[in-house]
Structure 1
Amino acid sequence: MNILSVEQLKKSFGERVLFEGMTFGLAEREKVALVARNGTGKTSLLRILAGEEMPDDGRVVTRKGLRVGYLKQEPHFPPGVEVMEWLLTLDHPLLKAVIRYKEAIANPEDGDEMTNSLAEMDRLNGWDTESRLTAILDKLDLKDIHAQVDTLSGGQRKRLALAGLLLTEPDFLILDEPTNHLDLDMIEWLEEWLREASFALLMVTHDRYFLEAICQTIYELDEGELYKYDGNYSYYLEKKEERIQTQRSNIEKAKNIYRRELEWIRSTPQARTTKSKSRIDSFSEVKKQAHQQVQNKQVEIDVKMERLGSKILELHNVKKSYDDLPILNKFSYTFKRGDRIGMVGKNGVGKSTFLRMITQVEEIDAGKIITGETVRFGFYRQDGMQMSEDKRVIEVIKEIAEVIPLAKGKSMTASQLLERFLFEGDQQYTFVSKLSGGEKRRLYLLTILMSNPNFLILDEPTNDLDILTLNVLEDFLLDFQGCLVIVSHDRYFLDKLTNHLFVFKGNGEVKDFNGNYLEYRMDLKIEEEKKKEARKLYAEPTVKDARPKREKTKLSYKEEREFEALTEEIEQLENRKAEIAGIFESPDVDASEIEKLSIEMNQITERLDEAEMRWLELSEYVE
C-alpha cells in the first residue's frame, strides 16, 4: 500500500517545463533514489513532495497522519538559538524528555527538576532515546549542544538538520544530497543507519557507493520523463543503456517507415478513401516518432595542459598549527609526475589548510615548500568561486577569455565552450542567480579548467554535481597527465581516480598510504582483526587458571560461608537501592544530596550485578 501517491504532476520554471504528467507511488519502507542532471527539477520535485512548494498542476496524496522529514541542501535555522534550543522545538515527546534530563544533569542545583526529569524518563522509557541522541550527536560531531546555531559552519548546520531528522524518526524521509559536508566515517555510519531504518526514503545523492548500498529502486528524470528501475544503481546503469539502445532502434525503424509512407503520401491522388485517410492519420504519428532524438548529451572536456617540468612540488619538514591545534608536524613529501593523491580524514583536521599552504594562499609556520617553475595550479575550492549573481553565464566566461586554447592546437569561442558544458542557447544569457547549485559548480569547474593547469587540486568537487557530469569529469581526470590532488568524501570518486592517500589522523599526524580508499579501509579492518586477536590472547587464562577444574559436587566450608554472606549482602543492597529511590521522589531533597545518591546508586547497581552472578554460580552446588 502506498504511503504517498503523485498524480499527473507538472512544474515549470518560467517558460521551461521541468516535468509534466508525472505519476508514481511510494510504498511503506521503500528506499528510492532520484537521478537526474542538474537543473532538471530534482530539488523542485523534493520541495513539492515535502509540501514546501506547489505544483503547477496535479497533486500529491499522502497517507493520513504521515510524518514527513525533509533535509534541504542548505538548511535554515531561526537566528539566535542554541543547538539544544532548536532540538527542543522538534515535535517528539521522548526527545524533549531526554533533553530535559540532560539539562537537569548539567544544572544539579535544581533538585526538583532532576527528580521530575528522572520520573519522566522512567515513565516514557526514554533511556534508549537518550543513548540514541548521544550516539547521533557524537557521530555527527555535534558535541557542543549549547553552541549558537549562528556560529556553526555550513557543514555543521547541515549535520544538525540531519540529526534532527534521524532523532524524530519520520515515516517518510526526503534527503537532498545528505552526504555533503560529512566526512567518510560519518558517511559510512549514516549509510548503515539508513540501510537498517524502517521508514520510507527518497533521496538525491551523487555518492554512488551510498546509493548502491541503500536504495533498491531508482527513478530517473530525463527530459521531463520519469523512468523507474526496480534495482540498485548497478542495475539502473545496465537497464538505462538497454532503454537508450531500444529507443534508438525504435527511432531508426520509424525513420524507415516514415520514408516509405512519405513516398506514398506524395504519390497518392487527392481523392482519399476511408482506408487511405486512416493511413494519413497514422503517418503523422510515424513522422513525430521518426523525428525524435535520444538526448544523450554529455559534458565534453578537451582543454590544453601546460608542460610539467622535472621539479614539481617539494615539502620539507613543514609545520603548521592554529594556537594549540597542530595541523602538520614536520611533514615531508616530493611530488612526482603522474601523482594521483587522495586526502581523507575527519572534518577540521587540516585538509583544506594543507591545500591552501601548497598553493601559497596560507603561510606555513616552519619548514620549506618549493614549487617548480613550470607548475600551474588549478585550484577548485570547496567554497566555490565568488561569481556576481547579476552577471550572465557567458559574461563570467568572457571575463576570463573570449577565445580558449584547446589540446592539439585547436581553439574555440566562449560560447562554444559553454555549449560543451551543457550551457546551450538562451541558458548562456541566464543570470548566475538563476542557476541551480549544481549548474553553478559546473560553471566554476569550467573556469578552473580554462586556466590550463598541470597540477589540479580539487577540494570536494563532487558536491552538488549530478552523477552524469561526475562520470564525464572522472573520464577526463583519468586521462589528465598532470599531478592530481583530491579532497573528497565520495568513496567511488576517490577509488576511481587515486592510487595514493594522505590520511589526516589529527594532532598534526599524516599517514602516507600507498593505495586507494577501498584498500585503506581493508587495511584498517585487518589491523582491527589483529588487535582483536591480541586482546583475546591477552585475556587467555593464566597457567594457574588453565589447570583442569575438579569435578565439584558440593561447596567447601569457605564457599558455604561466602554463599551465606552473599545472600545477606544482596538483601541489604536491594533495601538500600529501594531507600534511595524513595529519597529521589521526595520534594525536600537538595541538589548536592541527589548528586551523592546518584553516585551511590551506580555503585550499588554494579555491586549487585557482581554479587548476584557469584551467588548464582555457588547456588548450583548448594545441597
Structure 2
Amino acid sequence: MNYLTVENISKAYGERTLFEGLSFSLHKDQKLALVAKNGTGKTSILNMLAGDDTPDTGSIIYRNDIKKAFLPQEPKLDPNLSIEESIFNTDNPTLKIIAQYEKALKQPEDTEAYQKAFDLMDVHQAWDFETQYKQILSQLKLEDLSQKIKHLSGGQKKRLALAMALLQKPDVLILDEPTNHLDLEMIEWLEAYFAKAAITLFMVTHDRYFLERVCNEILELDQGQLYSYKGNYSYYLEQRDARIERETVETGKAKQLYKKELDWMRRQPKARTTKSKSRIDDFKTIKQLAKKRRDDHEVQLELNMERLGNKVVEFHNVSKRLGDKVLLDKFNYTFKNDERVGIIGKNGTGKSTFLNLFTQTDTPDQGKVIVGSTVKYGYYTQKGITIKPQQKVIEVVREFGDYIPLKKGRQISAQQLLERFLFDRKKQYDFVEKLSGGERKRLYLCTVLIQNPNVLILDEPTNDLDIVTLNVLESFLLDFPGCLLVVSHDRYFMDKITDHLFVFKGAGVVEDFPGNYSDYRAYESSQPAPQAAEAPVKKEKTNWREDAGSKLSYNEQKELKSIESKLSTLAFDKKALEAKFNSPDLTQEDINTLSLELQELINDIELKEERWFELSSKLED
C-alpha cells in the first residue's frame, strides 16, 4: 500500500541548487533511509515530508488519513511545559485517556472521577498502551516527569521528542538522526523496537549498524541522482560499489568514443545533412557522459605530527565528584603514545568530565594528572566552534594555521585541506552561516587537524557527519600514529578504530575492557543477569470499610499475616514481570500477553492491599 508519493521536487537557496527533479515513494511497512553527503539537502527533504517546508517545484502527496510524526534534529518544545504535560499534549486520544487516569490517581478522594477514568481505560483498552508508554519513558531515561522543558539539556529534549513521536503511534515516522544524544543502551533498545514494530519509517542517520539492523531499503542521493537499493546497509554497499564500477567502465568507453566523434566533428563541412545533425546530437550526449567525474574527494591525510615522547598522560589516584555524584574514584592509568581508547557508558557517568581532566581543562578533587612535555592536544568537543558574523569558511581554518606538514617533506595548505574534506574552492568562500549542521562539524574537524596534534581527543565526532565523511575520518584515524581517545555512541565507528574500551559504570567505577564494542557486547550478553532487588510494597489507602472500635479475631489475625506474606511475594513477582518488558526480542503479541498478566497481578495486589488496610484499621484504636 502506497503511503507517500514524491514527484519531481526541487529546492534552491538563492543561487545554490540543493537538488532538482527528485521522485520516490514510500509504502506501508517500509523502513527507508536516505543516504547523502552533508549539504546536499537531506534535512530539507525531511522537512518537506513533515510539512515544515515546501519544494520549489514538484509535489508531495500522502494517502488520505495518513498520520505522520517528525523527529527533527532540533526539537521545538514549549519551555514552560513539564515532560508529562508535553507528552500528554498530543493528538493521540489514548494518551489523553491515560492523562485523565494519571490525574485521577493523584486525587484518591474523588472516587467518582477515578471510577470514570478507570472505565475509560477499560473501554479503550488503554492498559497495554500505558505499559508501553511507561516502558518507552523508562528506556529513554525520562524519569522525573515534573521537570520543566526549559531545565532540560539538549540530549534530554531530543529523547523527549523521540518519546513523543513514538507515542503518537503514527502511520509514518520521519526521523532526522534519531540516535544522536542517545547512549548505547538506548540505541540498542530503539534498534530492537523498530526492527520488531509494524511501523513505516523514513529516516536520515549516520549510524551504520542502525541502518544495517533496522532498514530494508536505502535511498542514495549522489550527485543529484537518486538510487534505490532494496536491502540493508551491507547490501547497499555491495550494490553501490558495483554501480560505480559499471559507471567507470561506461565512462571509459564513452571517452574513447568521444575522441573518435571529436575527430569526425572537426572534419565536418559547414553544410550538414539530417543524418549529420542526428550524429551531432549523439555527440553531445557522449561528450556529457565522457566528461562525467565522480566527485568523491577521497581524503588522504598523511599528517607528519610532532614527536610524542614516552610520557603522554598519567592518572594517579584521581577522584572527581559532581555534587553527591562520584564520577571517578582513585583512578590510575598511564597512557602510551600509540593508545587507541574508546570511552563508553550511560549519560551522566562522567565521560566528558574524564576528557576534561585528561586535557587539563578541569582539575581533580584528589590525585594528580601529569601531562608529558611533548604532548600537543587536538580536542574535538561537542560544543563545536564559535563563528564570527560574516566569516567565510577559509577564514575559519586560517585562524588556526595556513598549512600543515605532511610526510616526506611535503605540506598542505588550509585551502587544500578543506578540499580534501569535501569543501570545493567555491564553497570555501561561502559564509559559514550558510553551511548545514554536518558541514559545520566537518569544518570544525579541519580546524582541529590543521593544528597537527599528536594526542587527539574526539567527543562524539560522528554526530551530524555523513557516511562519506565518516569513512574519510576512519581512514585517517586508522593511520594516525599518536594517542587517540574517542567518546562515541557510533558502534560501527568504535569497532573500526579502537583497541580497548574504558567502560564507565557509574559511581566512579571504570572498567578497562580489552576489545572493541562488539566484543564487549558479546561478553556482556554471556554474563548472567543480575538479581533484581526486592522493593517494598507501596501501600496506598483506598476506599475500605471503616470498622473502628472492633478488634481482630483469631482468624482475622491469621488472615492479616497471610496477606502480608502474599503481598511480599506478589511484589517480587511484579518486579520480575516488569523486568521482562526490557527484552529486545519481545513481539507485539508478547507485550500484549505480558501486559495482561501484569494487570491481573496489579489487580490482585490492590485487592489484598485493600483488605490489609481494612484489617489494619481495626488495630488503630
TM-score normalised to the size of structure 2? 0.84
* SS across alignment from 1:453: coil
Letter in 2 for 1:19: F
Report what 1:507 is aligned to: 507
Whether the 8 Å CA contact 1:309–1:374 is kept in 2: the answer is: yes
Does residue 1:99 correspond to 2:102, yes or no? no
Whether the 8 Å CA contact 1:303–1:450 is kept in 2: the answer is: no
Does residue 1:449 correspond to 2:449, yes or no? yes
How far apart, in 1, do the equivalents of 2:431 and 2:506 lie? 42
How far apart, in 2, do the equivalents of 1:379 and 1:408 lie? 26
Letter in 1 for 2:68: V
Letter in 1 for 2:17: V
Q: 1:607 to 1:524 in 2, by over 3 A?
A: farther
Q: 1:389 to 1:142 in 2, by over 3 A?
A: farther
How far apart, in 2, do the equivalents of 1:601 and 1:277 lie? 88
How far apart, in 1, do the equivalents of 2:117 and 2:304 lie? 66
Determine which structure has more spread, i.e. the larger CA radius of gyration: 1
How far apart, in 2, do the equivalents of 1:490 and 1:344 lie? 10
* SS across alignment from 1:179: coil
Unaligned runs of 5+ in 2: 532-558, 563-600, 612-621
1:489-500 equivalences under 5 Å are: 489-500=489-500
Task: Give how far 1:600 is off.
Answer: 9.1
Task: Give how far 1:499 is off.
Answer: 1.5
Letter in 2 for 1:432: V
Report what 1:313 is aligned to: 313
Unaligned runs of 5+ in 1: 533-565, 570-597, 609-623
Q: 1:57 to 1:413 in 2, by over 3 A?
A: same
How far apart, in 2, do the equivalents of 1:600 and 1:527 lie? 34
Deviations 1:101-129 (A, max 9, x none): 22332343444432332222122121111
1:202-241 equivalences under 5 Å are: 202-241=202-241
- More displaced 10-residue stretch of structure 1: 111-120 or 75-84: 111-120
* SS across alignment from 2:209: helix
Whether the 8 Å CA contact 1:177–1:206 is kept in 2: the answer is: yes
> Which of the numbers 592, 602, 607 marks the counterpart of 2:605?
602
1:326-475 equivalences under 5 Å are: 326-475=326-475
How far apart, in 2, do the equivalents of 1:59 and 1:294 lie? 29
Whether the 8 Å CA contact 1:318–1:368 is kept in 2: the answer is: yes
How far apart, in 2, do the equivalents of 1:169 and 1:457 lie? 40
Deviations 1:55-99 (A, max 9, x none): 010001110011111110111112311111111211111111112
Report what 1:576 is aligned to: none
How far apart, in 2, do the equivalents of 1:427 and 1:385 lie? 18
Q: Taking every aligned residue pair, what percent have the same amino acid on both sides?
A: 52
Task: Give how far 1:397 is off.
Answer: 1.4
How far apart, in 1, do the equivalents of 2:605 and 2:224 lie? 62
* SS across alignment from 1:54: coil
1:21-60 equivalences under 5 Å are: 21-60=21-60
Letter in 1 for 2:258: Y
Whether the 8 Å CA contact 1:298–1:469 is kept in 2: the answer is: no
How far apart, in 1, do the equivalents of 2:217 and 2:36 lie? 14
How far apart, in 2, do the equivalents of 1:431 and 1:112 lie? 63
Task: Give how far 1:327 is off.
Answer: 0.3
Letter in 2 for 1:69: A
Task: Give how far 1:607 is off.
Answer: 12
Task: Give how far 1:461 is off.
Answer: 0.4
RMSD: 2.3
* SS across alignment from 1:528: coil
Task: Give how far 1:404 is off.
Answer: 3.1
Deviations 1:385-423 (A, max 9, x none): 222243111111122223333333322332222222222
Letter in 2 for 1:297: H
1:121-160 equivalences under 5 Å are: 121-160=121-160
Task: Give how far 1:181 is off.
Answer: 0.3
How far apart, in 1, do the equivalents of 2:471 and 2:403 lie? 27
Letter in 1 for 2:525: K
How far apart, in 2, do the equivalents of 1:157 and 1:512 lie? 31
How far apart, in 2, do the equivalents of 1:110 and 1:338 lie? 67
How far apart, in 2, do the equivalents of 1:160 and 1:78 lie? 12
Deviations 1:219-255 (A, max 9, x none): 1111111111111111111111111111111111111
Task: Give how far 1:605 is off.
Answer: 6.5
Does residue 1:17 correspond to 2:8, yes or no? no
Whether the 8 Å CA contact 1:309–1:372 is kept in 2: the answer is: yes
Whether the 8 Å CA contact 1:397–1:447 is kept in 2: the answer is: yes
Task: Give how far 1:20 is off.
Answer: 1.2
- More displaced 10-residue stretch of structure 1: 411-420 or 184-193: 411-420
Whether the 8 Å CA contact 1:338–1:482 is kept in 2: the answer is: yes
Does residue 1:194 correspond to 2:197, yes or no? no
Report what 1:612 is aligned to: none
Deviations 1:349-397 (A, max 9, x none): 1100010011111111101111111111111111212222431111111
